[in-house]
Structure formats: C-alpha cells, structure tokens
Amino acid sequence: MAARTLDVSIIGLGNWGTSLAAALTAARVPLREVIVRQRRRTKLPAVTTVAWKNAALDARVLWLCVPDSAVAATAADIVQRRPNLAGQIVVHSSGALTVAALGAARRAGALVASMHPVMTFPSRDVVPLASVFFGIEAGNLSARRTLHSLARKLGGRPFDLRSQDKAMYHAAGTLASPLLVSALTAAMEAAHLAGLDEKTARQWVQSLAEPTAHNVFTRGAGKSFSGPFARGDAGTIRLHLKTLDAHPILAAVYRALAKHAVKSLPVKNVRALSKVLGKSS
C-alpha cells in the first residue's frame, strides 16, 4: 500500500499556529486546512481559515496548536466529527503534556504524538522555524520517523523525548525563557529601586545580561561566573539580603538563585556563603 502524502491540517491559529502555518507554506508542505472555532483574518495572505463545522480533518497529520488545557477536549471533538482516524497522526504541541492527552484519537485508530517547538512565540508575528529544536514524543516508530522528516522540512532540529521526561523537560524550558524574563525583570526592578529611572534600569541590566549570556554559551558557565559569589564575599551577600528584606519577592528570587550558584558554580568561601543564605534576614 502506498504511503499517504505528507499533508498537514492545523487546528488552532494562535501565536504558535500562525508561525507554523507560515513555515509549512514556505516549505511547500501541503497545508490542507487551518481549523478555528471562530473565523478571523490572519496576517498570512496565503492562509484562510475553516470553521469546525466545515472541517474535513482528513490530512495525514492533524496538528493541534491549542492551549494545553484544550488538548484532550479538542482530540475528543476530532473523533466526534471523524470517528475513524486510521492512517492519520494526531499531534499536539505541548511541551508538558504527554501523548496520553490524545487518548480519544488513539482509540479512534490514529497514531498519536507530541511535537514541541523549542521557541518563544509572544505574538502573532511570524517567527521563523529554521534551526528551531522540536521535541518529539512518539511511541510508534513510523510516526516518529514521519515527524522527524516533517521537522527537517521546516528547517528544524528534531530530537526524541520520553513521556516520563516531559514535565522536567518543560520545566527546563520554562527556566530558560519565561522565568529568565522574570529574573531579568527582577533585576530591572531592583535597579529602579536603587534610583535608576526605568529606561536607564533597562539599559543597565541589558549591558550586563547580554554579554553574560554570550559568555555562558561560548565559554561555559564556570568561566562566565564572577562577582561576590565567585569571590566568596559573604559580607556583601549579607548586605544584599539586608536591603532586599523590604522586598520579599525580590529577596526570595535572589536567595533561590544564590543557593543554586553556591551548589552548582565555582564559588569561594562556600561554608560562609551557605551560612548567610541559610538565614532569613
């Protein structure tokens, strides 16, 4: 039996779905449908949307680009409209959920998988997918090979994930992007509290953060680590914590990152630093 054409239907056209639709179109991967709950204009002139009631749902790959909380219900809606999914692959985009969320589709005969883009999509503006990592969770070898091929067609870099590793994997991604934004925002807030105006605080943090990130990824974390922790300056750390006491959330962020630094990075005077960090004030 000849293999089906590798075509894709996207379900949901939020920030991520918009970039995916653009990438599929650019890569000349047949985009059968972009299915939405409510019709809306898109920023993509070559893409039109289809309402659920008119959806054929007959592409080889049905790619769910919906919030995590909607994945299971969307899979069930697909099955309600198309009870036999034999020969199709139903994929969700979540980095945290496993393929278990697609149980309804699996019971209807589909192969199920997840394919998570390791990238940030903060708006409907198209983000290119060239060189983007794709974490692929697929128990079926055929589905896994198909999705690896699809990721490469998009210019991406596919790698395999196990179901039992998904939560930790997604926690790592959250630390690397949204919580990194939070850490930088905390630094800007502290700079503002020190008397810098908002614009200067942002530029001041940027002047430190950008070369630091560059150094970490080119020289390694240990060779990029400096400041009072690297020197083992417990007195300075005590002074930091004292002034941060009036700002409990900033203090908690500082203390958590500091404890991680003492455990994982080359610091001097570890015993004294640990003693200071172990105190509440």
pLDDT digit string, tens, across residues 17-29: 999 999 999 999 9
Give residue 1's pLDDT band: very low, low, confident or very high (50, 70, 90). Answer: very low
Confidence of residue 124 (pLDDT cuts 50, 70, 90): confident
Is the distance from CB of 105 to CB of 90 less than 8 angstroms?
yes
Helix (H) or strand (E) holding 71: helix 71-81
β-pairing, 61-64 vs 50-51, is unpaired
Mean pLDDT calculated for residue range 40-60: 83
User: What's the pLDDT score for residue 154?
Assistant: 96
Residue 213 pLDDT greater than 90, yes or no: yes
Position 44 pLDDT exceeds 80: no
Least confident of 30-39, 157-166, 224-233: 30-39
Q: Is the pLDDT of residue 278 over 90?
A: no
Amino acid residing at 137: E
Tokens matching residue 121: 């999509």
- The secondary element (H helix, E strand) that includes residue 262 is helix 248-264
The pLDDT, as a whole number, for residue 43 is 67
**Biggest alpha carbon–alpha carbon distance for the chain:** 74
Task: Write the burial class of residue 196 (CB in 10 Å: 0-12 exposed, 13-18 middle, 19+ buried).
Answer: middle
The larger pLDDT score, comparing residue 85 to residue 122, is at 85
pLDDT in tens, 225-238: 999 999 999 999 99
Ramachandran sector of residue 193 (left: φ over 0; alpha: ψ -120 to 50; beta: rest): alpha
For tokens 């630390």, name the residue. Answer: 175
pLDDT band at 58 (very low <50, low <70, confident <90, very high): very high
43 versus 157: the higher-pLDDT residue is 157
Is residue 135 within 8 A of residue 159, CB to CB? The reply is yes
Q: Which residue has the higher pLDDT, 205 or 280?
A: 205
What mean pLDDT, rounded, does the chain reach?
92
Report, as an integer, the average pLDDT of 49-63. 93
Looking at residue 128, its pLDDT comes to 94
Tell me, what's the pLDDT at 279? 54
Write down how long the chain is: 281
Q: Please tell me the predicted confidence (pLDDT) of residue 252.
A: 95
CA–CA separation, 23 vs 40, rounded Å?
Answer: 19
Q: What is the pTM of this model?
A: 0.84
pLDDT at 3: 56
- Calpha distance 99→106 (Å, rounded): 9
Residue with tokens 């959330």: 249
Secondary structure of residue 238 in the 3-state scheme: helix
The contacts of residue 184 (CB under 8 Å, 6+ apart) are 205, 209
